[in-house]
Amino acid sequence: MSEKSLLKNTVKHVDITSFDSTPIINSYRNMSFSSREIANAADILEKMVKDKDSTNILTLAGSTIAAGCKKIYSDMMQSNMIDVIVSTGANIIDMDFFEALGFRHYQGTPEVDDAKLREMYIDRIYDTFIDEAELQTCDKIILDIADSLESRPYSSREFIGQMGKYLQDKNVAPDSIVRLAYEKKIPIFCPAFSDSSAGFGLVMHQQNRIDKEQSYLTIDSVADFRELTYIKRKAKQSGLFMIGGGVPKNFAQDTVVCAELLGDGVPMHKYAVQITVADVRDGACSSSTLSEAQSWGKVDRTLSQMVFAEATTVLPLIVSYVYHKKDWKQRTPKKWTNIL
């Protein structure tokens, strides 16, 4: 077992524009159990896209970008299906931005000696491998971007915008989620931004500045919450398409409560789809259902669907269906970044 043999087969991103899942979704609609739930989820996402007043929020947890779903999300952005992204830092930095720099994720196996992987500087995400040296290069580029900016507080949305500008200036990765967000004015929020390669780069930035007794850049997570809540306050309607759970899901849902505390009687999120494998029995936030969210006044259950499935298995079918319905062609981009 060598590093070269392990980092050989790259993960390839599924292309939902290359196949039409409509016949599958239509057949699922007449079945039962998870099949019918998947069809209903596709119908709700289609309604979100068709509703020109709806601001559609994509939330990302887990590692679906590393697993081959990056092009699904970039195609949704290119097709104006979504207006806002709330994500873990890992999806945006360690996966999308990492690949935008020319690096790749590799097909691996969980049946491996992890101690040997550590000796070879290979990181593992279940059955996916990453070259740690390349990941540290990503960390250092985050450091370079931070060093180039004014020393002041930034929301994660602002900093990610600078990352998109960096890719545009380098004229690389036109299909990168980070670059597309910058160019299409789609704000990306990472409320736990430091829990990623961005955190390592920003710690290096701050420590270097502290050692030189200089001021440094910080990330303001409260600004993230305020900005996302502002979008919710200004949006006529809103919908959530949630992959996994965790902080991104709760962060996006909490905007309704925050807006209420600020004195605005905003409506609950009108549309909601969540794809997750989390077990509801543990009582954790990641596994809280959309029904539970209604008790908090966050989500209207009328047009909502829980799909209990591993996301990479059902996400391509759902989004391909909506893509080939073509209602996104009538949708005008919201460009929320312009008002933040």
**Cβ of 102: how many Cβ atoms within 10 Å?**
10
Where in 102-219 does DSSP place strands (E)?
Answer: 106-107, 122-125, 128-131, 153-154, 188-189, 218-219
Q: Among 280, 314, 319, 293, which Cα is nearest to 33's?
A: 314
The yes-or-no answer on residue 298 being catalytic is: yes
Strand partners, 122: 131
Give the sign of the dihedral formed by CA 307, CA 311, CA 314, CA 320.
Answer: positive
Per-residue CA distances from 108 to 12, 52, 134, 254, 312 (Å): 13, 42, 17, 37, 16
Q: Up-side HSE of residue 71: CA atoms within 13 Å toward CB?
A: 11
- List Cβ neighbours of 313 (8 Å cut-off, separation of 6 or more): none
Contact present, 73 and 65 (Cβ < 8 Å): yes
> Hey, what are 15's tokens?
């292309």
Task: Report helix angle 246-261 to 221-234, nearest 10.
Answer: 60
Bridge partners for 153 per DSSP: 218
Asked whether the beta carbons of 187 and 333 are under 8 A apart, the reply is: no
The catalytic residue among 270, 298, 325, 334 is 298
Residue 319 CA: distances (Å) to CA of 12, 144, 186, 254, 311: 17, 36, 19, 25, 12
Separation of alpha carbons 166 and 125, rounded Å: 27
Which residue in 270, 278, 283, 294 sits closest to 55, CA to CA? 270
Distance of CA 154 to the CA centre of its chain: 19
Catalytically active residues, by annotation:
298
